Amino acid sequence: MMISCQHESQHTHSPVTGFSNSKDSMSYSIGADIGDNLINQNVDIDYDAFITGLKNGYEKKEHLLTMQDRKGLFKSLQKRMRGRQQIESQKSLALAESYLKKNKLENPGVIETNSGLQYKIMKEGTGKSPESSMDQVRVHYEGKLTDGTIFDSSYEKGEPYVIRLDRVIKGWTEGLQLMKEGSEYEFFIHPRLAYGGRANNNIPANSVLLFKVELQKVFDKNIK
């Protein structure tokens, strides 16, 4: 989602291509952070009005709108954003339900548990299984969204992941207890067994999470 910034050719200043000191680099960083946040929240702004407001505030000039007016506008913006987020979340949940329903019917070998967790056995191991959510395991994994975007991967990091099962999403806590050491499974995780309607970094709200997981080891001792 892109922000609509109305800055056209009338802005003739040259773009900053390098920084000579900590002040200009920090200034850029603050601006970039504000821009990123506006885009992430899908806020539509008028670029010139935004810069005017920024300068008036920073230079302690008289504001063109009263504090009361600004508070009212912020409340209205927050209300619109919540409504938009709720609509998008509902759409995403419907898409997730549809994806998993189709996956169960059309993907050979997919098994669904009572919780709604779907998994597929790619390789069955012969070692021991975790016995509870308190067990510590070592895994290699890759996590993707349904569009194929990889959002996390121990393979890319170059080392396996060690974690206790009560410190991961519900889909992992349940799914890893189905596995034996040496197994490789695919998990198709419903949003309610992952992050639900809450976005998490580069994972949108109500996303189905797809994981390839290798269970390498179940440790005898728990993490303290």
Whether 152 is catalytic is yes
Task: Indicate the SS3 state at residue 102.
Answer: helix
Whether 46 is catalytic is no
Alpha-carbon span 217 to 178, nearest angstrom: 14
The active-site residue, picked from 45, 48, 152, 161, is 152
Whether 151 is catalytic is yes
The active-site residue, picked from 141, 185, 187, 188, is 141
Whether 111 is catalytic is no
The three state secondary structure string of 7-63 is CCCCCCCCCCCCCCCHHHHHHHHHHHHHHHHHHHCCCCCCHHHHHHHHHHHHCCCCC
Tokens 């309610």 map to which residue?
192
The active-site residue, picked from 119, 185, 187, 211, is 211
The residue type of 28 is Y
The active-site residue, picked from 135, 185, 195, 203, is 195
The active-site residue, picked from 169, 185, 188, 189, is 169
Query: Could you tell me the two tokens for 112?
Result: 């669904």
Contact 119, 110 (CB under 8 A): yes
CA–CA distances in Å: residue 111 to residues 87, 89, 105, 185, 199: 31, 26, 10, 11, 27
- Which residues sit opposite 164 in a β-bridge? 136
Left if phi > 0, otherwise alpha if psi is -120 to 50, otherwise beta: which for 205?
A: beta
- The alpha carbon of 60 is separated from its chain's Cα centroid by a whole number of angstroms, namely 38
The active-site residue, picked from 47, 50, 99, 151, is 151
* Residues acting as catalytic residues: 141, 151-152, 169, 195, 211
